Amino acid sequence: MSPASTSAYLVLSDGTVYRGEAFGARGEGEGEVVFHTAMTGYQEILTDPSYAGQIVCMTYPEIGNVGTNPQDEESCGIFLRGFVVREHVDFPSSWRSRESLQAYLERHHIPGISEIDTRALVRRIRTQGAMNGVLVHGEASQEELVARARALPSMAGRNLVDEVTCREPYRWDQGRDWAPDPAPMPRYHVVAYDFGVKRNILRNLVNAGFEVTVVPAHTSAEEVLALQPDGIFLSNGPGDPAAVEYAIPNVRKLVGKRPLFGICLGHQILGLALGGRTKKLRFGHHGANQPAQDQATGRVLIVSENHGFALDADSLASNSELEITHINLNDRTVEGLRHRRLPLFSVQYHPEASPGPHDAAHLFSRFRKLIEGQRAQA
């Protein structure tokens, strides 16, 4: 640690203390500590609303080398509580960079800690499970920090969607600027529930041929149907899906009324609406290298994921009309769901992942074809 640097501490609820160097905004943050295994895309991770209430540790050792830019933002801000890296880069090298990671975190008031053994931290989380922690800059009483970490609420039972959803409906018409082909015509109208939606999901919907109206998470089923959509999308988001109690009956009312497509938290809420249950995972799936196997073809997709809860496969077994379409090969958790009779499907992973992988990007076209099929039958 250099003489001019400021000490920083990450203290876990089990009493473990990591001392490193402060970077980012001076201050403190608290929340559930999780790790992310992606080698690239740290700005997308920072701006993903699904990380609300969490402190994120990057397993890749050098972070900040490509800086930050407005095009890579997944939302209007940063919702995580703290950022943990082995080494952060002060002087980025990329023609796309407009701001360093240090300046970006300062502007968004997010504290960070570097120069700690992130491998040891990841091993502890994998062994003990995700746990709460406190990140502070400057000297502080470690005993008090441990007590604070232990007093924090569990992620189980927390509705964090209300912290990240939009306040008013809005239209989204921006597609991917790197898409090889223009969006197909005719265009269909999709209403997207914002449980913490990522912008690249909306871009992919546009490029699949949709006009997109985004609505707040608490919007009633009746209000959504009044917008006369051709399909309804259920977005990703943070926290415990079972705690978003108003969303489950709303989605249940929409089942069978319009084609439905859910991603991540939206997948879980759809499963709950269909009679399933969710469970908290030991340390969750956070990374860009998760293996999801298609149960029909045996094909394995490498996908990006970010979730701490999953649908309980046993709770879905009693409904013979539900089919588990994908499973995670690491822990056999549910990665995909569809109804055998009604026009709906969902996935736990992120087919829109920016910067990737893109193995599952075809699902947006599948949603379009599902809507086309329903219109042909009407």
The domain that holds 224 is classified in CATH as: 3.40.50.880
Please report the pLDDT score of residue 179 as a whole number.
59
356 and 207 inside one domain: yes
Residue 79: domain span: 7-151
Residue 204 lies in a domain: yes
Residue 294 lies in a domain: yes
Could you give the CA distance from residue 266 to residue 346 in angstroms, rounded to a whole number? 8
Residue 199 lies in a domain: yes
Residue type, 282: R
Please report the pLDDT score of residue 183 as a whole number.
61
Please report the pLDDT score of residue 39 as a whole number.
92
Domain boundary among 107, 131, 151: 151
Domain boundary among 151, 182, 201: 151
Could you give the CA distance from residue 260 to residue 257 in angstroms, rounded to a whole number? 9
173 and 318 inside one domain: yes
Is residue 373 within 8 Å of residue 231, measured between CB atoms? no
77 and 211 inside one domain: no
Is residue 272 within 8 Å of residue 241, measured between CB atoms? yes
State the pairing for strand pair 111-114/82-84: parallel
Could you give the CA distance from residue 326 to residue 332 in angstroms, rounded to a whole number? 9
Burial annotation 219-250 (CB, 10 A radius, 16+ → b, else e): bebeebeeeebbbbbbbbbbbbbbbbeebbeb
88 and 213 inside one domain: no
208 and 306 inside one domain: yes
Please report the pLDDT score of residue 3 as a whole number.
47
124 and 171 inside one domain: no
78 and 226 inside one domain: no
Could you give the CA distance from residue 378 to residue 376 in angstroms, rounded to a whole number? 6
Please report the pLDDT score of residue 357 as a whole number.
86
Q: Structure tokens of 19?
A: 């001392």
Active site residues: 264, 350, 352
Residue 1 lies in a domain: no
Beta bridge partners of 304: 350
pLDDT < 50 positions in the chain:
3
297 and 191 inside one domain: yes
111 and 137 inside one domain: yes
74 and 216 inside one domain: no
Helix intervals (H) in the chain:
42-46, 101-107, 118-128, 142-151, 161-164, 199-207, 221-226, 247-254, 265-273, 313-316, 363-377
Could you give the CA distance from residue 202 to residue 224 in angstroms, rounded to a whole number? 17
202 and 127 inside one domain: no
Domain boundary among 118, 151, 184: 151
Residues 6+ apart with CB under 8 A from 241: 265, 268, 269, 272, 278, 309
Residue type, 85: V
pLDDT digits (tens, 9 = 90+) for 287-330: 999 999 999 999 999 999 999 999 999 999 888 899 999 999 99
Residue 2 lies in a domain: no
Please report the pLDDT score of residue 187 as a whole number.
84
100 and 220 inside one domain: no
* The total number of residues written for the chain in this structure: 378
Residues 6+ apart with CB under 8 A from 70: 98
Q: Structure tokens of 265?
A: 């938290």
Give the domain CATH number at 53. Answer: 3.50.30.20
Residue 139 lies in a domain: yes
Residue 156 lies in a domain: no
The domain total for the chain is 2
